[in-house]
Amino acid sequence: MTLEGKSVAILIAPRGTEEPEFSKPKQAVEDAGGKVTVVSFEPGKARTVNGDLDEGGSYTIDKTFSDVKADDFDGLVVPGGTVGADKLRGSDEAIGFIRAFFDQKKPVAAICHAPWTLIEADVLKGRTLTSYPTLKVDIENAGGTWTDEEVVVDNGLVTSRDPDDLPAFCAKLVEEIAAGN
Q: Which sequence positions are flagged as catalytic?
A: 112-113
Helix axes 82-89, 92-103, angle to 10 degrees: 90
Beta bridge partners of 40: 64
Determine phi and psi for 80, rounding to 5 degrees.
-95, -150
Closest CA to 88 of 142, 29, 18: 18
Contact assessment for residue 25 and residue 151, using Cβ atoms and an 8 Å cutoff: no
